[in-house]
């Protein structure tokens, strides 16, 4: 039996549990300006990592993509600071920066995550997340 087939048919994910999915690139948002490696809604439990990002993560050549998506799940938006974790990869590369070194969070970002946690604004699924999960499998 193929585990993927089994996992695609049988799951019991509770409303307060995270959903981390490794998905084909065509299941991620498409843009004309860059390749989307992963995506997450703000304050969400749903994180999708594209298959193009996985090999680098497994080989320790990408210490940033998953952490960046966790920042979104904590309620953070993108920034334009070339050293900040929440700045998009293509923006850093456009300025000849090393996106793997852009790992900083500032005090207000950490406070945002903390405040979202305290005020129960985290751990929400995207609307109709169960139906979307079923469709993609």
Domains of the chain: 3-136 (3.40.390)
What is the pLDDT at residue 52?
87
pLDDT tens readout for residues 80-132:
999 999 999 999 999 999 999 999 999 999 999 999 989 988 766 655 555 55
11 vs 18 pLDDT, higher one: 18
Q: Check pLDDT > 70 for residue 32.
A: no
Which residues 6+ apart lie within 8 Å of 46 measured at CB?
Answer: 18, 19, 21, 40, 125, 126, 129
Mean pLDDT, the chain, whole residue set: 81
Instruction: Using pLDDT thresholds of 50, 70 and 90, give the confidence band for residue 37.
Output: confident
Q: Check pLDDT > 50 for residue 50.
A: yes
Distance CA 30, CA 17 (A): 27
Distance CA 63, CA 130 (A): 29
Q: How far is CA 135 from the centre of its chain?
A: 20
- 23 C-beta neighbours (distance < 10 Å), count: 16
**Predicted structure pTM score:** 0.75
120 vs 35 pLDDT, higher one: 120
């Amino acid at each position: 039996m193929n585990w993927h087939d089994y996992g695609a048919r049988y799951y019991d994910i509770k409303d307060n549990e995270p959903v981390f999915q490794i998905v084909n690139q065509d299941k991620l948002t498409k843009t004309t300006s860059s390749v989307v490696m992963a995506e997450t809604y703000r304050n969400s439990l749903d994180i999708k990592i594209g298959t193009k990002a996985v090999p680098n993560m497994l080989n320790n050549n990408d210490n940033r993509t998953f952490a960046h998506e966790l920042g979104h799940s904590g309620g953070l938006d993108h920034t334009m600071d070339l050293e900040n974790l929440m700045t998009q990869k293509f923006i850093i590369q456009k300025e000849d920066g090393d996106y793997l070194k852009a790992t900083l969070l500032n005090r207000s970002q950490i406070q945002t995550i903390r405040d979202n946690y305290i005020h129960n604004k985290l751990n929400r699924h995207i609307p109709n997340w169960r139906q979307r999960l079923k469709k993609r499998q």
